[in-house]
Amino acid sequence: MPMLRLAAAALAGLLFGIGLALSGMLDPARVRGFLDVTGAWDPTLAFVLAGAVMASSLGTALARRLRRPLLAERFDWPTRTRIDRPLILGAVLFGIGWGLSGFCPGPAVAALSAGLLPVVVFVAAMVVGMAAHGILHRVRPSR
């Protein structure tokens, strides 16, 4: 069963990466074009986001009707629903990083396949930030 889960995860990741590549979301200029609402605005990302929300909504609705997932013992639904300061700060930092770089984590990892230095630097910085968060979270756990 673990190999089947790994294969399913790899297939899902490959499908996600192909979708990002086909939609042009591996190009940071396209993302910055979407965020440039006062200039040469590119609405492409809005359609990609709408498609992602629709697919996610359908998948969640289907999953909620199932007794258990196909490749796991139970569903791991989010338990925290409160909008708090760490969530807002994280969203702000994510948005700033996305706007400045044109990358968010999924497309950045997929764009590693191009081997471009800016992508490698972004992903390396992302990994360092994730490690720093993990260390800080262990030192000072959230309440």
SS (H, E, C) the chain: CHHHHHHHHHHHHHHHHHHHHHHCCCCHHHHHHHHCCCCCCCCHHHHHHHHHHHHHHHHHHHHHHCCCCCCCCCCCCCCCCCCCHHHHHHHHHHHHHHHHHCCCHHHHHHHHHHCCHHHHHHHHHHHHHHHHHHHHHHHCCCC
Say yes or no to pLDDT of 141 above 80.
Answer: no
Position 65 scores a pLDDT of: 94
Say yes or no to pLDDT of 1 above 70.
Answer: no
Domain carrying residue 106 = 2-139
Q: What's the domain count of the chain?
A: 1
Quick: pLDDT tens for 94-125.
Answer: 888 888 888 888 888 888 888 889 899 999 99
